[in-house]
Amino acid sequence: MRPDHARLSFLTLNQTLENLRTMTKLAMTEEDLLSQCEQGHCTAYIRLSGVQGLTQVSGEPGDEPESVWAAGVQTILNVQPVRVARSGVPVSLRLAGPVFRDIDDSFDELTRVWDALVDLKNGDLAFKPADVAALAETINGVIPEDYDLKGKEKATASAIIAILVHMSNLDVTKPYAAYESMKTAAALARVAMPSSGTIKKFFDLAAEQIVPAPAK
């Protein structure tokens, strides 16, 4: 990756494609990149200004959608509408990131998952340099080094993951389904989301720690 680009918080779409083409030696297009994001191999962001939408609700009694405005860079949770968008036609996006609420006078930023109808002409796609570098390695077939955990530590970490997965009502045998649920939670927690392949790797380890229920 270009050293000057590696120091940026976010890359533009053109900067991202320039670096991917250099690192992979492939003539990657915007659609190629967004397809990789759809599969969970990278995360797409968008810079928005003056866009209004409604927050997602938890389903708890009394929890109603709130009207909010974009307050900065947003994580795109559903990339497909961006990939198939037609010029000049707004698309419905599910976003996660900082927002202002209509009812606030203080202009305090809150982090929310929210839905908005977005004209992509009024937004700029963005990608994190670390995500771009990791995607290039994945495309080039570079296998990430295993975490340096000893056998007992690996078993302990896997057991902890198995317990947390159970507490979250996820299924260690369905890592890709869990990945979609975890993306939303990661955005709210402002935690970098690992790739779907990494989630599968650790879910497989966690599954090894589960003792089968006794036969009835």
For the chain, the structural domain boundaries read 3-130, 148-207
Q: What is the mean pLDDT of residues 152-171?
A: 77
Alpha carbons 180 and 113: distance in angstroms, whole number: 14
Taking only the tens place, the pLDDT of each residue in 41-85 is: 889 999 998 899 998 775 566 678 888 999 889 999 999 999 999
- pTM metric for this prediction: 0.67
Alpha carbons 152 and 107: distance in angstroms, whole number: 49
Is the pLDDT at 145 greater than 70? The verdict is no
Alpha carbons 141 and 46: distance in angstroms, whole number: 28
Tokens standing for residue 88? 């000049």
CA–CA–CA angle 64, 69, 72 (5° rounding): 125
Query: Which residues share a beta bridge with 110?
Result: 99
How many Cβ atoms from other residues are within 10 Å of residue 29's Cβ?
Answer: 12
Alpha carbons 183 and 56: distance in angstroms, whole number: 14
What per-residue confidence (pLDDT) applies to 201?
80
What per-residue confidence (pLDDT) applies to 176?
73
